Amino acid sequence: MAALGGRGRAAAALLRRAPGTGAAPGAAPRRHRHKEKWAATAPRIPSTRLALHHFDTSYSLHLGALWPSVRAGLLCEQKYGALLNNFAAADHVPEELELLNATDFISEALQKAEMVAQAEMSPPLCTSISSKIKCYTFPRGDITRFRPARPDGLGLLDYYLMDAASLLPVLALHVQPDDFVLDLCAAPGGKTLALLQTGFCGHLAANDVSISRTKRLHQILHSYVPREVRDTVSVTSYDGRDWDQVKGGTFHKVLVDVPCTTDRHSAVEEDNNIFHRRRTKERQMLPMLQLQLLMAGILAARPGGAVVYSTCSLSPLQNECVVERALDVARAQFNITLHPEDLSHFRTLFQDTFSFFSECRLGELVLPHLTANFGPMYFCKLRRV
């Protein structure tokens, strides 16, 4: 891969051949046959158990006394938020949701911050948050579920149900009018839809290497976005690691929402679980893939542009370590200076809705919690000088 030089290219080639990511068909090489025979006869340990064992070992060290409650959150039903579709004729929906005691957590936090700022005669915390995105959540401890989304007269659905913490990386990107925005790993498209809800994207490039997942992205765009806005979105299926070779240095804002161990999914779902023994190599190579994608995102941003890196994992190896490594690589190999932007005001603003981990150095991390069962969601913002 060009972004990381020869060694990166070799690692990228390795990744492309990794098990579970499109290995060549046919018989296994001779040296692996005994392993397959063993695997066929050995009692199968559920992938969820392997995942929990791994999490218990590593996250109890990383999160300390917080881990038991985070673990309980991971194993219980997650909470959703309803991202309002500004493109649908759904003026009645806020009232309907408010009657159920749900509130738009973003405008609520902004109003509260403004009141505090006025009372303390201090500058408001919230100048960099887009108030056009509206997402309803039920209060802490309230586990009411939202009804399924409904179509308006033109067939556009009224809201999109998603982990409300997934909006934080989008808010951190702070899209401005006419920005050219790249969503490098976009499918199935929750964050792409949120980016469009800002109403500010001059052009949005939504890319994902997976053709089947890009189909879901197309479906979401068709279900939520009118044609004239869809026309400002280009959907592609490149390997994101090669993006800099396609359109380097052109975007004002880049979202790099990388594949990760999807901790909540891995703890409870056997299907498509990355802790399956067959996917060990793929899992071990994730930080390298994440670094390569982040580097490609950095190279796609124009000078002065911003990159937000995000994962839905608690793993420091997939979060802060990847960002630290990217800062080093950018400086040493590309002479690019990046400034990590302070996002700690998110912790203050959204403390009523989310539980944040207070010990991240570069980004912010939402921790699952039984009373606020969103996340995990790590996000970090880098500005290219």
Ligand X SMILES: C[S@@+](CC[C@H](N)C(=O)[O-])C[C@H]1O[C@@H](n2cnc3c(N)ncnc32)[C@H](O)[C@@H]1O
For the annotated catalytic residues, the residue numbers are 312
Minimum separation from the CB atom of position 218 to ligand X (A): 13
Q: Which residues contribute to the site for ligand X (CB under 6 A)? A: 166, 185-191, 208-210, 213, 239-241, 257, 259
Minimum separation from the CB atom of position 170 to ligand X (A): 9
CB closer to ligand X out of 250 and 348: 250
CB closer to ligand X out of 104 and 263: 263
Minimum separation from the CB atom of position 37 to ligand X (A): 31
Rg (alpha carbons) of the chain, rounded to whole number: 21
The verdict on whether residue 190 carries a ligand-binding annotation is yes
Minimum separation from the CB atom of position 185 to ligand X (A): 3
Residue written as tokens 């949005």? 204
Residue 171 CA to residue 329 CA, distance in Å, equals: 26
Residue 19 CA to residue 21 CA, distance in Å, equals: 5
The verdict on whether residue 271 carries a ligand-binding annotation is no
Residue 376 class from Cβ within 10 Å (0-12 exposed, 13-18 middle, 19+ buried)?
buried
The verdict on whether residue 102 carries a ligand-binding annotation is no
**Element at 115 (helix H, strand E):** helix 105-120
Nearest CA-CA partner of 338 in 362, 366, 310, 318: 362
Cross-strand bridge partners of residue 380: 309
The verdict on whether residue 73 carries a ligand-binding annotation is no
Torsion of CA 93, 98, 100, 105, to 10 degrees: 100
Structure tokens at 171: 């808010």
85 Rama class: left (phi>0) / alpha (psi -120 to 50) / beta: beta
CB closer to ligand X out of 179 and 263: 263
The verdict on whether residue 208 carries a ligand-binding annotation is yes
CB closer to ligand X out of 200 and 379: 379
Residues in the chain: 385
User: Annotated binding site: which residue ranges?
Assistant: 185-191, 208, 239, 257
User: Annotated binding site for S-adenosyl-L-methionine: which residue ranges?
Assistant: 185-191, 208, 239, 257
